[in-house]
Amino acid sequence: MSAKTVQYDKLKNYTSQVLKGLGYPKKQADITAEVLVEADARGVPSHGVARLDFYEKNVKGGFATPAAEPSVVHETPVSVVVDGNNGVGSYVSDFAMRKCIEKAGKTGAGFAAVRNSNHFGMAGLWAEKAAAKDQIGMAFTNTRICAIPTFGKQRILGTNPLCFAIPREGGIPFMLDMATTTVAHGKIEVYERRDLDMPLGWVVDEKGKGTSDTKGFQKLFWSKCPDGGHLFLGGEGEDLGGHKGYGLGLLVDLLCAGMSLGRWSLHTFEGNNGSGIAHFFGAVGLNIFGNAKEIRRHVASILDEVRKSNRAEGEDRIFIHGEKEAEAREKAMKEGIELDEETVKLLDDFGKKFKIEGL
């Protein structure tokens, strides 16, 4: 088995068929397939089709109910609280983000707190939906416990990503999409699949010591030992600002779980009552601050000045957040999406299992 390049539509269709084999209804399968393939197309394999293995385990473990429909449990003109009822994360997120955009269109702002959902893919995929409507988009989620607080060593918080998307004139939006830990856990899984050691500074072991042993850490991560985990942005201690990353991670949990009355990271994946993943979304119209086109132009001018600032020796470009992913997607749409050997094998195994025509 070797690495392979696959056309976007073919991979999306194949992924949707796999998800249907896992019990997803068509609507849930199609939107989830799009979310996973978009990640691979944008050069983010940590959130791509390799996640199908994780999704299968969620269904088999009783953490995800593919046919479940989200329900509204509280609503105002500017807000909504959604119970995902343990449904598919991307399907639930699409429902919640549409609510935010609709409310922002009517009142200027809309927010959604979501409980009892599942993995929702790249946060940026949801925030950019608002940016396409001349709105500032926001997306946050908690996750399975992965990370340790500053001065601690027990895994109690998730990688807890956050995203802000701000429209600009004449191009893609500014899009800051990041884990509040040094890396998302999916990136460690990519290193494991590719049999690579991690850089020091990503995680610590059960003794609170830095390690680059990817497979050893993964064994610890899935064990019953509660200690050892991801470091937040800034690393260990306070000298390089680790407490700031920890604060951001905790903030995400307070928005997602706190506002939805849902489970915070420590209590996700407990028992057989769904994963308990919680999200928070927002959409704020540019027009509440003035003329939207003028604002987009001004945002674009700020970003242009950043790009044109003095570069470090040996560097030929300063990137704006979201540009690398957009350019990777443009290339993938023309040339196909590159999948590593282990991901190809995973897809082929699913194809044999569900009798799907091979890639």
pTM above threshold 0.85: yes
Q: What percent of the chain has pLDDT over 90?
A: 95
The closest of 77, 87, 147, 145 to 114, measured between CA atoms, is 87
pLDDT confidence of 359, banded at 50, 70, 90? confident
The closest of 271, 45, 280, 243 to 147, measured between CA atoms, is 243
The model's pLDDT over 28-40, given as tens digits with 9 standing for 90+, comes to 999 999 999 999 9
3-class state of residue 268 by DSSP = coil
Mean pLDDT of 333-354: 96
pLDDT confidence of 271, banded at 50, 70, 90? confident
Instruction: Tell me the C-alpha distance between 143 and 131, whole Å.
Output: 25
Cα dihedral 175, 180, 186, 189 sign: positive
Tokens matching residue 315: 């560097």
What would you measure as the largest C-alpha separation in the chain, in angstroms?
56
pLDDT confidence of 3, banded at 50, 70, 90? confident
Strands 4-6 and 203-204 turn out to be unpaired
Instruction: Tell me the C-alpha distance between 84 and 72, whole Å.
Output: 9
Instruction: Tell me the C-alpha distance between 230 and 187, whole Å.
Output: 11
pLDDT confidence of 358, banded at 50, 70, 90? confident
Residue 133 in contact with residue 101, Cβ under 8 Å? yes
In angstroms, the Cα distances linking 277 to 58, 114, 141 are 12, 8, 7
Model confidence at 1: pLDDT above 60: no
Structural domain spans, the chain: 1-60+322-359, 68-182+231-308
3-class state of residue 124 by DSSP = helix
Q: Is 42 left (phi over 0), alpha (psi -120 to 50) or beta?
A: alpha
Q: How many CB atoms lie within 10 A of CB 123?
A: 28
The model's pLDDT over 115-163, given as tens digits with 9 standing for 90+, comes to 999 999 999 999 999 999 999 999 999 999 999 999 999 999 999 999 9
The model's pLDDT over 254-266, given as tens digits with 9 standing for 90+, comes to 999 999 999 999 9
Amino acid type, 70 = P
pLDDT confidence of 23, banded at 50, 70, 90? very high
**Mean pLDDT value across the chain:** 96
Instruction: Tell me the C-alpha distance between 143 and 25, whole Å.
Output: 24
| φ/ψ (deg, to 5) at 136 | -75, 125
Return the CATH fold of 1-60+322-359: Hypothetical Oxidoreductase Yiak; Chain: A, domain 1 (1.10.1530)
DSSP 319-341: PPTTHHHHHHHHHHHHH-EEE-H
Domain 68-182+231-308 has CATH 3.40.630.30: no
Counting every residue written for the chain, the total comes to 359
Mean pLDDT of 232-249: 96
Burial readout 31-52 (b: 16 or more C-beta within 10 A, e: otherwise): bbbbbbbbbbbbbbbbbbbbbb
| φ/ψ (deg, to 5) at 353 | -65, -40
The model's pLDDT over 328-338, given as tens digits with 9 standing for 90+, comes to 999 999 999 99
Instruction: Tell me the C-alpha distance between 97 and 177, whole Å.
Output: 16
Model confidence at 2: pLDDT above 90: no
| φ/ψ (deg, to 5) at 232 | -75, 165
At 310 the pLDDT is 98
Model confidence at 281: pLDDT above 90: yes
At 249 the pLDDT is 98
Mean pLDDT of 291-313: 98
pLDDT confidence of 58, banded at 50, 70, 90? very high
